[in-house]
């Protein structure tokens, strides 16, 4: 049986390139998503072995998609595909439950190997990232817990993408009142009181791309 994979990337050309690469190696691509919410839906529909997820996806970013997969589709292992080689992104990926972290500039060489290792229950990090992990764990006492919930992170990303409270309610399947409550609680927790500052915070946290 081939390894079954869903792909999440908002660039069609990138998805097509990855799909071609994987299928040449006998890996079956069972679904493709252009945003994080669609990826979660496809994972629920197809129960793939592995999800390859771009960090910078709309509606639900790759980090939060990995968190949601861990909750809703625990048998699907997440590999994050990213251009970010900074410590904080890798640390957040591991916290989110990702089993692989592949840099886009190394993806052609690394991705197939990463999928094979992750499928077998191992963890894969692109070369050069291992020292970051060691340093992160050595200093883990200095890593503060995320003050906001997964739903609040979803709301934050949608605000940063320019969505109105009504849009957010529709996209998340909640009432406008509930969406507004999440927005107010988010601002209170972060002590941020205008949208521009929320957007800057979301960019720093990797929820949206600058």
pLDDT tens figures, 155-179: 888 888 888 989 888 888 888 889 8
**Weakest mean pLDDT among 18-22, 88-92, 130-134:** 130-134
Asked if 153 and 207 count as a contact pair (C-beta separation under 8 A), the reply is: yes
Q: Which two structure tokens, joined as six digits, stand for 198?
A: 């929320």
Mean pLDDT value across residues 3-11: 95
- Cα 26 to Cα 76: distance, rounded to the nearest angstrom: 18
Residue 204 has pLDDT above 70, yes or no: yes
How buried is 43 (Cβ within 10 angstroms: 0-12 exposed, 13-18 middle, 19+ buried)?
Answer: buried
Question: What class has domain 4-140?
Answer: alpha beta
Question: Would you list the DSSP string of the chain?
Answer: ---EEEEE-S-HHHHHHHHHHHHHTT-EEEEEESSHHHHHHHHHHH--SEEEEESS-SSS-HHHHHHHHHHH-TTSEEEEEES--SHHHHHHHHHTT-SEEEEGGGHHHHHHHHHHHHHTT--EE-TT-HHHHHHHHHTGGG-PPPSS-HHHHHHHHHHHTT--HHHHHHHHT--HHHHHHHHHHHHHHHT--SHHHHHHHHHHTTSS--
**Weakest mean pLDDT among 12-21, 82-91, 167-176, 178-187:** 82-91
**Weakest mean pLDDT among 20-24, 55-59, 65-69, 90-94:** 90-94
Mean of per-residue pLDDT scores for the chain? 86
pLDDT value at residue 188: 87
Residue 142 has pLDDT above 60, yes or no: no
Segments making up each domain of the chain, as ranges:
4-140, 150-204
Task: Identify any residues that bridge with 4 across adjacent strands, giving them in sequence order.
Answer: 28
**Local confidence band at 152 (pLDDT 50, 70, 90 cut-offs):** confident
pLDDT value at residue 84: 82
At CB < 8 A and 24+ separation, what contacts does 135-138 make?
135/87, 136/87, 136/90, 136/91, 136/94
| CATH architecture assigned to 150-204 | Orthogonal Bundle (1.10)
Mean pLDDT value across residues 50-63: 91
Q: Which two structure tokens, joined as six digits, stand for 200?
A: 């800057």
Q: Which two structure tokens, joined as six digits, stand for 37?
A: 């919410």
């Amino acid at each position: 049986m081939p390894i079954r994979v869903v792909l999440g990337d908002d660039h069609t050309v990138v998805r097509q390139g990855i799909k071609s690469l994987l299928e040449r190696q006998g890996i079956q691509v069972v679904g493709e998503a252009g945003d994080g919410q669609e990826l979660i839906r496809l994972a629920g529909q197809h129960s793939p072995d592995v999800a390859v997820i771009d960090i910078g996806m709309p509606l639900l970013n790759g980090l939060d998609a990995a968190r949601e997969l861990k909750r809703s589709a625990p048998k699907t292992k997440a590999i994050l595909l990213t251009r970010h080689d900074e410590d904080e992104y890798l640390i957040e990926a591991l916290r989110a439950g990702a089993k692989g972290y592949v840099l886009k500039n190394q993806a052609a060489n690394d991705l197939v190997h990463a999928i094979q290792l992750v499928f077998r229950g191992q963890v894969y990090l692109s070369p050069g990232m291992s020292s970051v992990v060691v340093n992160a764990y050595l200093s883990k006492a200095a890593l503060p817990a995320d003050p906001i919930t997964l739903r609040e992170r979803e709301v934050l990303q949608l605000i940063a993408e320019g969505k109105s409270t009504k849009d957010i309610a529709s996209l998340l399947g909640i009432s406008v009142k509930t969406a507004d409550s999440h927005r107010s609680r988010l601002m209170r927790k972060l002590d941020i009181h205008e949208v521009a500052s929320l957007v800057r915070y979301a960019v720093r946290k990797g929820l949206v791309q600058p």
